[in-house]
Amino acid sequence: MRRLRNIKIVATLGPASNDYEMIRALHEAGADVFRLNMSHGTHDDIRARHAIIRQVEKDLDTTIGILADLQGPKLRVGEFKNGSEELVEGATFHLDLDDTPGDINRVQLPHPEIFAALEDGTTLLVNDGKIRLKVEHARETSAVCTVVAGGTISNRKGVNVPDVVLPLAALSEKDRADLEFSAALGVDWMALSFVQRPEDILEARELVAGRAAVLAKIEKPSAVKAFDSILAVSDGVMVARGDLGVELPVQAVPPIQKQLIRKCRAAAKPVIVATQMLESMIESPMPTRAEVSDVANAIYEGADAIMLSAESAAGQFPIEAVTTMNNVAVEVEGDPTYREVIEASRQAKRETVADGIVAAAREIAETTDVKAICCFTQSGTTAALVARERPRVPIIAMTPLRGTARRLALTWGTQCVLTGELERFKQAVVNSARAARTLGYAGDSDQILVTAGVPFNKAGTTNILRVAPCDERLIYSTDPE
């Protein structure tokens, strides 16, 4: 299914989008990757949605990526005797390990690891930052706090600790079970929540054992500080602006988003911008102008993908939300300013033969009338390197591995075509020309660029670049085998 845009769209599935007709409609409207939120739904629910996605993929003869999003450790206060209390600014409030129902003066915080990390002066945020507490006296099993910003605190509200790196594993027992289940199921991407350090990613990679690519969700200040080392061991990144905007001043999020996108692009690793992109479309068929500008901004910045959360999972207008994202992307990418911004932000990287090959391919495409860049890839690395260049012509990623094609569904501009195992470069040229013609990118008088690696079927060997004709007589008079 050929898209008229380069940026990819991720749609979260949920109660509003859990049957065949809706999931197929969402893909046809523009969803390239479906997100399965492991925070909601049973394993049976997830298995059923996974099966439907694969059936849609088969019926439409297309490639669809599936991302499993692990919940991560959830820090919450205990319960209150009255269900809730009203905290007043300037009041003293205690947190402790006692499971006695709370009152106006105290409540349980059943996480001894938090108390182990707290220091005097630490900030605690409750209920998505609506309530702000300052720790005055940190103890081993309790903390005396001053209410800096008051409000209603109620049962099981979430707690954020932005100032310190908590001695918490990024994978809870639930996460470990969900990881094994979804990896065995055959998802393409595994998203790890509340990453604080590169060791969190390394632990997940060991458990995934190559069955899926591992994506780091950046939603904590500690992850921003350690981003370079986290990126180095991740296959991709999600800028999760929800919790990031709770734990950091809201005005800090836009520049962080821009910085992370550029670093991901330089590393040739896909980056998703997520959270509240079209939030009003949960209840309205039309977005706000500010939301459209937010989506457009992520596209102008060069993100690989933009994501819908509740808009497609639980909203009243899931198809309209995907359609809106698609239309905004088509409009922005057609703006001459878009090309100026994208090309001005390109960072030259010439460290390997493959870097040089893909840079040369992009330069040739910009100075000649080449219609597409066809790259043969085993692991997806070559296609990701081509995408890093953000060329003006389409990218056709040729691979014999369906798993690679599905993972590339998250990478900017890639149109994946499954091909057989190759033995000779001549086969690569002929198969590329046929794919370009079939997809409607090239005709008889047109040329394409072909990149490949010899020996074939071995990752990391990209070493050939050729300009090839797409003449029908030449292609179909040649046996690619």
Active site residues: 35, 76, 217, 275
Sort 455 into a burial class: Cβ within 10 Å, 0-12 / 13-18 / 19+: exposed
Distance between CA atoms of 233 and 452, rounded to whole angstroms? 26
Contact indicator for 378, 461 with CB cutoff of 8 Å: no
Tokens at 393, concatenated: 């012509």
Residues 8/411, Cβ–Cβ less than 8 Å: yes
**Burial class, 90, CB count within 10 angstroms (exposed 0-12 / middle 13-18 / buried 19+):** exposed
**Position 182: which residue type?**
S
Phi and psi dihedrals of 455, rounded to 5? -75, 150
Residues 6+ away with beta carbon under 8 Å from 66: 33, 34, 36, 50, 53, 186, 187, 188, 189, 406
Alpha carbon 217 to its chain's center: 8
